[in-house]
Amino acid sequence: MATETIEILDTDGVNRALTRIAHEILEHNKGVEDLVLIGIRTGGAYLASQLQQVISAIEGVKVPLGIIDVTMYRDDLCSRSDLAVGQTDIPFRLRDQKIVLVDDVLFTGRTIRAAMGAVMDLGRPQNIQLAILIDRGHRELPIRPDYIGRNLPTARNEQIKVDFDDLNTAQAVHLLRN
């Protein structure tokens, strides 16, 4: 079956989206006080790192950045073929922090639920917000992002692919259609 690839965002598009999200985060949280970024392994972690740089460029402050792996919190233990577990690396306290969870694509919402569970086990934050590069719809849980790079209605069998370069910088977003 031939696969059709459609470019949704190019590099500039990704950067514009991240810049806008950064501004929205700063605006919403009135600055960087108590603000932390937590990226969901692996795509979300790369984007969180980029967001950290963008925020730093705007505010001159490097907000704390953590990486979370949600494998241990997933609800599909018995049906997964890939059992690899990534490491969670959050070298700061989460108590009373404002957490912005970052992921590349929001789909069913199950990963975000797992991530919230994982974050809550590490400490009791002030609040948890959600930043997403692409929201492709098809939610199975009552989860709504606070910051969205691009809303993209998709069919269930389509795939969204975010391309990263060797330095883990997002280069483009593609829609793959069979």
Partner 1 sequence: MSFNPKHILGIKDLSTDEINFILDTADSFKEINTRQIKKVPTLRGKTVVNLFYEASTRTRTSFEIAGKRLSADTVNISASGSSVAKGETLEDTAKNIQAMHPDIIVMRHGASGACQYLAERLDCSVINAGDGMHEHPSQALLDAFTIRQHKGSIEGLTVAIVGDITHSRVVRSDIYCLSKLGAKVRLAGPGTMLPPGIEKLGCEVFNNLEDAIRDADVVMMLRIQRERQGTPLIPSVREYARFFGLNGNKMDLAKKDAIVMHPGPINRGVELGTAIADGPQNVILNQVENGVAVRMALLYLVAGGEKLQEDC
Evaluate the omega torsion of the peptide bond into residue 42 and state whether it is cis, within 30 degrees of 0: yes
Find the shortest distance in angstroms from Cβ 93 to partner 1: 10
Q: Tell me if 116 contacts partner 1 by CB under 8 A.
A: no
97 binds partner 1 (CB under 8 A): no
Segment interacting with partner 1, rule: CB under 8 A, options 12-20, 55-63, 85-93, 140-148: 85-93
The residue (of 87 and 157) whose beta carbon lies closer to partner 1 is 87
Q: Which is nearer to partner 1, 86 or 109 (CB)?
A: 86
Q: DSSP state, 88?
A: P
166 binds partner 1 (CB under 8 A): no
User: Using CA atoms, how far apart are residues 64 and 156, in angstroms rounded to an integer?
Assistant: 35
Q: Which of 6, 57, 61, 72 binds partner 1 (CB under 8 A)?
A: 72
Alpha helices (H) in 31-94, listed in sequence order: 43-59
Tokens 């990226």 correspond to: 39
Rounded-to-integer distance, Cα 112 and Cα 107, Å: 9
Query: H or E segment at 23?
Result: helix 11-29
Which residue ranges make up the site for partner 1 (CB under 8 A)? 69, 71-73, 77-89, 117-118, 121-123
